[in-house]
Amino acid sequence: MIASPPRTIRIGSRKSQLALVQTHWVQSELQKAFPGHTFEVHTMSTQGDKILDVALAKIGDKGLFTKELEVGMLNGDIDFAVHSLKDLPTRLPEGLMLGCVTEREDPADALVVHEKHKDKQLDTLPEGAVIGTSSLRRLAQLRHHYPHLAFKDVRGNLNTRLAKLDAGEYDALILAVAGLKRLGMGDRIHQTIPSDVSLHAVGQGALGIECRTEDPEILAVLKVLEHTPTAQRCYAERAFLRELEGGCQVPIGVHTVIEGDTLTLTGLVASLDGQTLIKDTVSGAPETAEQLGIDLAHRLKEQGAQAVLDEIFATIQRG
């Protein structure tokens, strides 16, 4: 525990139910670690929360769910912000940094089905079954493995999406295991999708806490929540994404494990139609996580990933 004068520390959060569950967990853990401080939650609506009738990829993703919170930190209105790490861009505004990465929940994707398909899995859903997902990463990989299925964009918070599924607008949804579990909806997970079918998003399942670079006291407070193995895995993934200059709305997937003193990172770049999947794996010491991510990005570029990404960016801009 760090000895410092009692103060009120302001935590920034989006207003969504999942964001608040995650932020209140951070608030509770820090309050236990620093009983002398007061931790207040301040909520804000981000651009991504407000625009719900346009596909994420068409809005662009430069701070889609983070910009308003970042402005709040730079203005001194809040001291740090809690994000789902997968929403946090790999290049942060000057004056801000990723101060802490928390222990990761299962980063896999989940299949959630309509009641009428309760005896089905991904590979047994009928031809033409409508799958809801707003993620180009999920879309490209599932199109590759299950070309007989139909895919339709779905937006809104978790409860909104599940209500649309239950009303029969979709036969199934693809959602993050972590979000469902954190909201106490783990019983809706019908199938955890294996990594050989769908590599997860960079940072999926972990919380990233962003703070000012010139605030050592806040940084010291946040470090009590740091989970080093998760941080190493996520730094490798974020370096991979940053080197490819991809955003969270590009079909780039990852999978990382640490076994003993070896970190293994698998990465993938896919075309939107799922016809092209470029995939490779690197391994090395966890302490070299960022370099491993950079090395893997270069390997995929050598195998044609840049041309695939260029075509995707052009398609999105045309759309």
Active site residues: 87
In Å, how far are 35, 252, 255 from 108, measured between CA atoms? 35, 14, 9
In Å, how far are 125, 128, 173, 247, 253 from 121, measured between CA atoms? 6, 14, 12, 30, 22
Cα distance between residue 39 and residue 58, in whole Å: 37
18-28 burial by CB neighbour count: b if 16+ within 10 A, else e?
A: bbbebbeebbe
User: Token pair for residue 187?
Assistant: 């019983």
Block residue for tokens 């760090």: 2
Q: Which residues pair with 253 in a beta bridge?
A: 268
User: Token pair for residue 197?
Assistant: 């079918």
Evaluate whether 200 touches 175 at the Cβ level (below 8 Å). no
Q: Residue 200 — φ and ψ, nearest 5°?
A: -80, 175
